Copies of this chain bind each other. A is one copy, B any other.
Amino acid sequence: MEGTTRLETFSDGVFAIAATLLVLEIAIEPRTRDVGAALTHIWPSYLAYATSFLTIGIIWMNHHHTVSLLARVDRTMLFVNHLLLLTIAFLPFPTKLVADYLNAPGERPAAIAYASTLVLMAAIHQVWWQYARRGRRLVADHVDDAALRGVDLAYAPGVPMYGAVLLIAFFSPLASVLLTFAIAAFYLPSAALFERGGEPA
């Protein structure tokens, strides 16, 4: 159990810091004359901030729930978890790209970079879970198979969903970011659906 505590504390630190660093992407030009207009003009920054903040919230909740099902971690798990954290800590960069270029020339590559990061993150999270779950490799004895299947169902849509976001980014960067926001806003309240009774194990 000590093994999962270590992994959880470090991961939580990275989740909280990455989410809080997102605010550094929001800025107006130095010595702006019309501050009010500038604050309206940077609406993509607010959208990008909220989208990434809520998305990190989902991943944090899922991560916590699944770690609570594990009895131990091994070196491969620590490595895969570190790769997952690497993509989460990277998120402020594509978020800033979206903030700076959405609704302006260059919005397409910005949205593609953002969506690609999310696809990569979802894919690594899926590997993370499958590695722990296969043959109950790292699963705690007291966890029943229904709980594992609940997580399977919750994690399955991740890659296809963000894959669709990536596809849409090629056609409409704004629609792509709005869909990411919608996924976060609607998924976050329901993310704990599989935590029956509202109380995590």
Contacts and interface: CB of A to CB of B under 8 A. Distances in A.
Interface of A: 2-3, 6, 9-10, 12-24, 26-28, 30, 32-36, 39, 49-50, 53-54, 57, 60-61, 64, 68, 72-76, 78-79, 82, 85-86, 89-93, 96-97, 100-101, 105-106, 108-110, 112-113, 188-193, 195, 198-200
Contacts of A100: 30
B35 A106 contact: yes
Number of this chain's copies in the complex = 4
Contact of A89 (B34, B53, B78, B105): B53
Contacts of A86: 50, 53-54
Contacts of A64: 6
A28 to B, nearest CB: 8
Given A19-B85, A27-B93, 6 more contacts: A13-B17, A14-B20, A57-B78, A72-B199, A76-B189, A79-B188
Contacts of A93: 23, 26-27
A103 to B, nearest CB: 13
A17 B15 contact: no
A105 to B, nearest CB: 7
Contact of A74 (B9, B10, B198): B198
Nearest to A31: B100
Contact of A192 (B2, B74, B108): B74
15 contacts: A13-B15, A13-B17, A17-B20, A18-B23, A19-B89, A22-B89, A23-B92, A24-B92, A33-B105, A33-B106, A36-B112, A53-B85, A57-B79, A61-B78, A72-B198
